[in-house]
Each structure stands twice: as structure tokens, then as C-alpha cells.
């Protein structure tokens, strides 16, 4: 099935001229990004679109969390490796390094999800790092 974005890449004929449109970049809400890229969520194993950090499961209160410890060497997720992971998913029917399979975006001509999709600042920075810093600064028992 061809999606509208693919139709735009083929071109629209207007007044005997063919106009082609290509998606070059994208930004998505953090939760939507994993869905539209058909990947594991950012709080799951291999949930990062940009690299291959695996994460590890730690117990926390009544459940557990996947945490990502700083590692000395984290491999970047290249577009070529991303496409190989999609192919491996299609063959095996299982998730490979956080990739669950093909997505509507992986068929676009110029979009390279690992490079072209930027990190959502709302959840990553403002509700992520900054929120944690404020909690650390103002909820800490030490007032220094």
C-alpha cells in the first residue's frame, strides 16, 4: 500500500508540471517517535534511535526500570545498520536491537531516521534532565 508521502515523492501534476515533495527531517513526540519508527520505546532495551545502548533492568520500588548507564564506547546506529535490522526483523519475525520491523518512513527516498529525526526536547530535556535537576536541587535534604 502506498502512503500519501510516497505519492508526494512520485509527484503531483499541476498545470502540466510535475512537482515532487520529499521528507528530509522530522521531529516527533518521544512516545510517538518509537511508534512511527516501529521501535522499542525509549524506556526499553535498545530504545534509542541514534545508538545501540542496550540498557539494563534494575528493581525500583514495586517494579523495575530500564536504565542507561554511561558507557565508554556506544556504537552509533547508522542508517545502513538500521536497514539491516529491519531486514533481519522481517526474516525472523522478532525485534532486532530495538527495531520491530519496517515502518512507513523506511520506504521514503531521502529520510534517514537515524540521522534525520531529531531528539524531542520536551520529554528529553525539559521533562527529563531539567526536571531531575530541579528535583535534585530543591528536594534534596542537603541545602547546599
- Which is it for the CA torsion 40, 42, 44, 50, positive or negative? positive
Of the pair 6, 71, the CB lying nearest Zn ion is at 71
Query: What is the CA 14 to chain-centroid distance, rounded?
Result: 35
In whole angstroms, how close is the CB of 73 to Zn ion at the nearest point? 13
In whole angstroms, how close is the CB of 98 to Zn ion at the nearest point? 10
Of the pair 50, 84, the CB lying nearest Zn ion is at 50
Which residue shows C-alpha cell 552509533? 76
Residue 61 half-sphere exposure toward CB, CA atoms < 13 A:
1
Of the pair 75, 127, the CB lying nearest Zn ion is at 75
In whole angstroms, how close is the CB of 135 to Zn ion at the nearest point? 23
Return residues touching Zn ion (CB under 5 A).
Answer: 48, 50-51
Q: Give, in degrees to the nearest 5, the angle at Cα 76 between 60 and 34.
A: 55
In whole angstroms, how close is the CB of 52 to Zn ion at the nearest point? 8
Of the pair 5, 68, the CB lying nearest Zn ion is at 68
Q: Decide if 101 contacts 90 (C-beta within 8 A).
A: yes
Amino acid at each position: 500500500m502506498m502512503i500519501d508521502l510516497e505519492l508526494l515523492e512520485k509527484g503531483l501534476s499541476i498545470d502540466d508540471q510535475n512537482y515532487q515533495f520529499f521528507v528530509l527531517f522530522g521531529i516527533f513526540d518521544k512516545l510517538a517517535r518509537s511508534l512511527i519508527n516501529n521501535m522499542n520505546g525509549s524506556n526499553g532495551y535498545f530504545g534509542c534511535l541514534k545508538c545501540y545502548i542496550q540498557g539494563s533492568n534494575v528493581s525500583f520500588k514495586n517494579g523495575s526500570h530500564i536504565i542507561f548507564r554511561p558507557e565508554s564506547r556506544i556504537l552509533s546506529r547508522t542508517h545502513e545498520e538500521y536497514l539491516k535490522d529491519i531486514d533481519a526483523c522481517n526474516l525472523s519475525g522478532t525485534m532486532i536491537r530495538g527495531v520491530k520491523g519496517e515502518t512507513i518512513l523506511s520506504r521514503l527516498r531521502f529520510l534517514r531516521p537515524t540521522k534525520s529525526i531529531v531528539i524531542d526536547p520536551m520529554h528529553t530535556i525539559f521533562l527529563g534532565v531539567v526536571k531531575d535537576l530541579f528535583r535534585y536541587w530543591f528536594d534534596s535534604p542537603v541545602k547546599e
